[in-house]
Structure 1
Amino acid sequence: MSDPSGKPDLSLRLLEIFDAIMRCGTTVEAAEQLGISQPAVSNGIRQLEAQTGVTLFERLHRRLQPTEEAVALHEDIKPVFGLLRGFASRAQDMRQGVSGRLRVIATPPLGHTVAPLAMRRFLKERKDVSIAYDVRRLEHVVEAVQSGNADIGLALALERHPAVHIEILARTHMVAVLPKGEAVSGNVINAETLAKRDFVGLEIDSTLGREIRAAFDRDGVPYKPRVEVRYCATAAVLASAGIGCAIIDPYTAAFNAGLGMVECDFLPPIEVPAVMITRKGVPRSRLQHAFISEMRKALTDFGAGGMQAIFGAR
Structure 2
Amino acid sequence: MMEHDTDLPDISLRLLEIFVEMMRAPTTIKAADALHISQPAVSSGIRQLEAQVGITLFERSSRRLTPTAEAWQLYEEIRPIFTMVRGISRRTRDIRLGLVGRLRIMATPPLGYSTAPRALQKLLNDRPGVSVSFDVRRLDEVIDAVQSGAADIGLAIAQHRMETVNVSLLHRSQMVALVPEESPLARQPSVSASDLSGQPLVGLERDSNLGLLVRKAFDQAGAEYLPHVEVRYCQTAAMLAAHKLGVTVVDPWSARTAPVPGLVERPFTPVCEVRAVMLTRRGVPHSGLVRTFITNLRAAQDEVAFV
TM-score w.r.t. the length of structure 2 is 0.90
* 1:105 maps to 2:98: no
Change (3 A) 1:259 1:80: farther
Give the match for residue 23 of structure 1.
24
Q: In structure 2, the residue corresponding to 1:31 is in which secondary structure? A: helix
Q: In structure 2, the residue corresponding to 1:302 is in which secondary structure? A: coil
Q: Residue 12 of structure 2 aligns to which amino acid in structure 1? A: S
Number of corresponding residues:
303
Q: Distance in 2 between matches of 1:183 and 1:29?
A: 81
Q: Distance in 1 between matches of 2:261 and 2:51?
A: 79
Question: Does the 8 Å CA contact 2:242/2:260 hold for their aligned counterparts?
Answer: no
**Any idea what the Cα deviations from partners look like across 1:226-266, whole Å, max 9, x if unmatched?**
11111111111111111111111111111221443222221
Q: Distance in 2 between matches of 1:91 and 1:264?
A: 50
Offset of 1:107 from its aligned partner? 1.1
Q: Residue 124 of structure 1 aligns to which amino acid in structure 2? A: N
Q: Residue 67 of structure 2 aligns to which amino acid in structure 1? A: P
Question: Does the 8 Å CA contact 2:164/2:282 hold for their aligned counterparts?
Answer: yes
Question: Does the 8 Å CA contact 1:152/1:288 hold for their aligned counterparts?
Answer: yes
Change (3 A) 1:24 1:135: farther
* 1:132 maps to 2:133: yes
Give the match for residue 203 of structure 1.
205
Q: In structure 1, the residue corresponding to 2:206 is in which secondary structure? A: coil
**Any idea what the Cα deviations from partners look like across 1:100-147, whole Å, max 9, x if unmatched?**
333222111011111111222233323333332222111111112222
Give the match for residue 241 of structure 2.
239
Question: Does the 8 Å CA contact 1:180/1:240 hold for their aligned counterparts?
Answer: no
Question: Does the 8 Å CA contact 2:239/2:260 hold for their aligned counterparts?
Answer: no
Question: Does the 8 Å CA contact 2:238/2:260 hold for their aligned counterparts?
Answer: no
Give the match for residue 194 of structure 2.
192
Q: Residue 200 of structure 2 aligns to which amino acid in structure 1? A: D
| Equivalent runs, 1:134-153 vs 2, <5 Å | 134-153=135-154
Q: Distance in 2 between matches of 1:292 and 1:38?
A: 46
| Equivalent runs, 1:60-209 vs 2, <5 Å | 60-179=61-180, 181-184=182-185, 185-209=187-211
Q: Residue 34 of structure 1 aligns to which amino acid in structure 2? A: L
Change (3 A) 1:206 1:75: farther
* 1:254 maps to 2:256: yes
Question: Does the 8 Å CA contact 1:237/1:259 hold for their aligned counterparts?
Answer: no
**Percent identity between the aligned chains?**
50
Give the match for residue 223 of structure 2.
221
Q: In structure 2, the residue corresponding to 1:269 is in which secondary structure? A: coil
Change (3 A) 1:272 1:72: same
Q: Distance in 1 between matches of 2:148 and 2:24?
A: 47
Question: Does the 8 Å CA contact 1:159/1:275 hold for their aligned counterparts?
Answer: no
Give the match for residue 272 of structure 2.
270
Q: Residue 249 of structure 2 aligns to which amino acid in structure 1? A: I
Q: Distance in 2 between matches of 1:217 and 1:80?
A: 72
Q: Distance in 1 between matches of 2:281 and 2:7?
A: 50
Give the match for residue 6 of structure 1.
7
Q: Distance in 2 between matches of 1:25 and 1:280?
A: 53
TM-score w.r.t. the length of structure 1 is 0.88
Q: In structure 2, the residue corresponding to 1:298 is in which secondary structure? A: helix
Offset of 1:4 from its aligned partner? 4.9
Q: Residue 253 of structure 2 aligns to which amino acid in structure 1? A: Y
Q: Residue 231 of structure 2 aligns to which amino acid in structure 1? A: V
Offset of 1:159 from its aligned partner? 4.7
Question: Does the 8 Å CA contact 1:146/1:279 hold for their aligned counterparts?
Answer: yes
Q: Distance in 1 between matches of 2:72 and 2:160?
A: 64
* 1:48 maps to 2:53: no
**Any idea what the Cα deviations from partners look like across 1:51-86, whole Å, max 9, x if unmatched?**
222222222322222222222222222221112112
Q: Which moved more, 1:234-243 or 1:253-262?
A: 253-262
Q: Which moved more, 1:106-115 or 1:94-103?
A: 94-103
* Cα RMSD for the two superposed structures: 2.2
Give the match for residue 296 of structure 2.
294
